[in-house]
Amino acid sequence: MDMLLDLVARLGRTTLGLIRAAGSLTLFALSGLSHLIRPPFYGRVFLSSFLETGFFSLPVVALTALFSGGVIALQSYTGFAQYHVQNAIAGIVVLAVTRELGPVLAGLMVAGRVGAAMAAQIGTMRVTDQIDALSTLSTNPMKYLVTPRLLAGLVALPLLVMVADVLGVAGGFTVSVVKLGFSPHAYITATLNSVKAIDVTVGLVKAALFGFLIALMGCYYGYNSKGGAEGVGTATTSAVVAASILLLAFDYLLTDLFFSQ
C-alpha cells in the first residue's frame, strides 16, 4: 500500500512538473512574441541571428538535402525495380523531400547548430550576470535577446527549406540519370507532374514552425540556465534535445492535419 501511494505521489509530482514547465515555456514564448509589436526593434541583433540561422547554416543543410535526395532515389529504385514501377521514383523523391525530408532534416541540422549556439550564448550571459546588467541599463532582456532570435528562426528556416527542396530533388535527379540510367527529360516531366503547391506550402509552414521552436528552445534554456559553466552545458544539451523532440512531434501533428483526409 505504501509503495502504491509513493508511486502515485511520484506520478503526481512528475505531472505537476510537466504542467509547470509547459506553462513557463508558453508564457516565455508569448512574452517574446508580444515584443514584436512594441518598439524598439533591435534590427542589428535580428540581422546577426538571421545570418547565423540562415546563411551560415546553408552549407550543412545543402549537403544534407543533396545526399538525402540521392539516397531516396537509390533506395526507391532498389525496392520498386522488382515491381517494375521505376517511373514512380521521381514522384516519390519530390514528395518525400518537399513534404518531410526538406523541413525535418533542415530543422534537425539547424537545431544542432543554431539552437545549441543560442542556448550557450544566452546561458553564458545569464551566469555572468550580463542579462541583469541589461536590465540595469534599462534594456528589456526579452526584447533584446529573445524576440529578434524568434523572428530570425521564423523567417530563416523556410528560406533554408526552399533551398533544401531544390537540392534534394536535384540529388535524386543526379542519381537517377547518372547511375540508374533515367532519361533526364522524362524524369523532369514526372517530377513536375507529381509536385503540387500544397506539398511545398505545407513544407514551408512546417519550416516556419520548426524555426520558431528551435529559437524558442535555445532562448528558453539559455535564459533560464544557472550553475556556472556546467549549467550552460546542461542548457545547451537540453535545448537541442527538446527542439528535436518537439520538431518531430509537431511534424507528425501537421502531417496528420494536412494529409490525413
Name the packing angle between helices 197-223 and 2-34 (round to 10°): 110
Residue 5's alpha-carbon distances to 1, 9, 247, in angstroms, are 6, 6, 36
**Over pLDDT 90: what percentage of the chain?**
50
Q: How confident is the model at residue 10 (pLDDT cuts 50, 70, 90)?
A: confident
CB under 8 Å, gap of 24 or more: what pairs does 24-33 form?
A: 25/216, 25/220, 28/146, 28/216, 28/219, 28/220, 28/223, 29/150, 29/216, 29/220, 31/142, 31/146, 32/142, 32/146, 32/147, 32/150, 32/216, 32/219, 33/147, 33/150
CA distance 226 to 129: 10
From the list 243, 214, 236, 242, the residue with the least C-alpha distance to 154 is: 214
Q: Are 180 and 73 in contact (CB under 8 A)?
A: yes
Residue 155 CB coordination number (10 Å): 17
- How is residue 183 annotated by DSSP? -
Return the amino acid letter for 162. Answer: M
Encode pLDDT of 205-242 as tens digits: 999 999 999 999 999 999 998 888 888 989 999 999 99
Residue 64's alpha-carbon distances to 13, 60, 148, 257, in angstroms, are 41, 6, 27, 27
Predicted confidence at residue 85, as pLDDT, reads 65
Beta carbons within 8 Å of 115's beta carbon, 6+ residues apart: 214, 215, 217, 218, 239, 240, 243
Count Cβ atoms within 10 A of the Cβ of residue 203 and give its class: 0-12 exposed, 13-18 middle, 19 or more buried. Answer: buried
Q: Are 104 and 204 in contact (CB under 8 A)?
A: no
Encode pLDDT of 180-196 as tens digits: 888 889 888 988 888 88
The set of cell numbers assigned to 30 is 508569448
Angle at 149 between CA 20 and CA 42, to 5 degrees: 120
Q: How confident is the model at residue 79 (pLDDT cuts 50, 70, 90)?
A: confident
Encode pLDDT of 91-110 as tens digits: 889 999 998 889 999 999 99
Encode pLDDT of 121-150 as tens digits: 999 999 888 988 888 888 888 999 999 999
- Per-residue pLDDT for 261 more than 70? no
* Count of helix runs (H) and strand runs (E) in the chain: 12, 0
